[in-house]
Amino acid sequence: MGAPVFREASVRRILILGGVVALFVNVASFGTGSMPLRVDSSRAALVSLGQEYNELQLWATAVVEATDTLESTERARALAHQLARVMGPLEHDFEKTTAALSTSQLEQILPLWERLVFAHAGVSLLQEQASTLGVDPALDPSEVHDLAFQLSAVLDFAAQIQRMLLTELITPVPTPIRLT
């Protein structure tokens, strides 16, 4: 009678010991080195966004110059359609930049970021207007000229804010700790 009870107790001890060892191995494998930190891609994303603003600025300037004396409604519609099309990727770049910023970075640059969000909203509204003008059969070419001029102004503002954001993120945050 004593042998089966002893065997049962030994099996339990072995299973418990095996469980403890497995738990210890799993806990030890979750050390601080196993989880890599998130790579900071915010500066690269902001630089890419700035390049997108500069490329769109070139388009807007070219459309302003082309529509300055344009009389053809068909050509004005084509320019409006093309302008709306080249503005499309900006939405993705803006989302990518937003996702690349950490919470602490957003807190650091919040007032500037809010300005950039408003500028981006202006670009989005102008993109919608360009899409509408691109299919308007009663389009006056001066409308495309005015749209491109407004876009140029908004892009100029957005590019200035983007440069300020880069400067703000590059500049080290002052700390109250003083080394003497």
Homologous superfamily (CATH) of 42-170 is: Alpha-catenin/vinculin-like (1.20.120.230)
pLDDT at residue 38 greater than cutoff 90: no
Name the pLDDT band for 35 (thresholds 50, 70, 90). Answer: very low
User: What pLDDT is attached to residue 40?
Assistant: 82
d(CA 78, CA 115): 31
> Cα separations (Å) of 151 from 85, 163, 176?
14, 18, 43
Among the residue ranges 2-11, 49-58, 85-94, the one predicted with the least confidence is 2-11
Read off the DSSP letter of residue 170. Answer: H
pLDDT at residue 180 greater than cutoff 70: no
User: What pLDDT is attached to residue 39?
Assistant: 74
**Which residue from 77, 66, 93, 108 is spatially nearest to 155, judged by alpha carbons?**
93
Whole-number average pLDDT of the chain: 84
